[in-house]
Amino acid sequence: MRIVVVEDDERISAFVARGLGAQGHQVSVAMTGADGIVLASEPDVDLVILDLGLPDIDGVDVLSQLRRTRGVPPVLVLTARDAIADKVEVLDRGADDYLTKPFALDELLARVRVLARRSDQPTANRLERAGLVLDLGARRATRDGRVIDLSTREFALLAYLMRNPGQVLSRVQILAAVWEYDFDPLSNVVDVYVRYLRRKIDREDEESLIETVRGAGYRFRA
């Protein structure tokens, strides 16, 4: 894979580049947010690893800017910030995963493998329900023909719910399927994302397509 690492700490970027290079990845390093945006927007990039503490632009703003461009590859955020609120903010801004410094190289490589698998998912797959269409190949969602702008994580959550219509899915199941690693099960990230999705996909005069099953989790209406 071609991976862009946006990190101003040379020690960390060299360590990450060496580790990824040893796995056969082709790595480009940007030391500033501005350079990172340019490199990450090149068409053949498969993954972006983004540090939040950059000298010129805050990493969160770099992320927002990348996410405004369509077709940007998955973004794995590196940060020294560890609060749940920060995690939720970063995921909300469109990061696909999150790693807190200091981290072990093995953990970084494991996250990279997960994101690589995800960006390799089969194409031309389509989920449809009540006028809501999810085109998994084009990563495009529409309801009644209207395009719905979803972050990568919102899209993954909606795809998971739509693949399991009528089934009650617990928060832990959803975290495992959509976040794909041990996210703090006490965090409210699933509820936060369901709220975002409802706001985006539901028709105003109807009950939500995503039902809350009290004490159990969520169910996509069959």
Among 2, 15, 32, 53, binds Ca ion (CB under 5 A): 53
Q: Are strands 97-100 and 75-79 parallel, antiparallel or unpaired?
A: parallel
* Residues 1 and 26 sit within 8 Å (Cβ to Cβ): yes
Q: How far is the CB of 76 from Ca ion (least distance, A)?
A: 15
Q: How far is the CB of 102 from Ca ion (least distance, A)?
A: 13
Q: What is the dihedral of CA 18, 35, 58, 75, to 10 degrees?
A: -60
- One-letter amino acid at 164 equals N
Cα distances from 33 to residues 58, 123, 174, 216, in angstroms, run 7, 32, 32, 42
The rounded distance, in Å, linking the Cα atoms of 99 and 111 is 9
CB closer to Ca ion out of 11 and 199: 11
CB closer to Ca ion out of 59 and 73: 59
CB closer to Ca ion out of 35 and 202: 35
How many residues interact with Ca ion (rule CB under 5 A)? 4
Residue least distant from Ca ion (Cβ): 53
Confirm or reject binding of residue 81 to Ca ion (CB under 5 A): no
Confirm or reject binding of residue 96 to Ca ion (CB under 5 A): no
Among residues 48, 151, 50, the alpha carbon closest in space to that of 92 is found at 151
Q: Are strands 2-6 and 75-79 parallel, antiparallel or unpaired?
A: unpaired
Confirm or reject binding of residue 8 to Ca ion (CB under 5 A): yes
Q: Which region among 6-14, 27-35, 65-73, 82-90 touches Ca ion (by CB under 5 A)?
A: 6-14
DSSP SS3 for 206? coil
Q: How far is the CB of 52 from Ca ion (least distance, A)?
A: 7
CB closer to Ca ion out of 51 and 154: 51
The rounded distance, in Å, linking the Cα atoms of 84 and 90 is 10
CB closer to Ca ion out of 10 and 191: 10
For Ca ion, the binding residues in 102-161 under the rule CB under 5 A are none
Residues of the shown chain interacting with Ca ion in the complex, contacts defined by CB under 5 A = 8-9, 51, 53
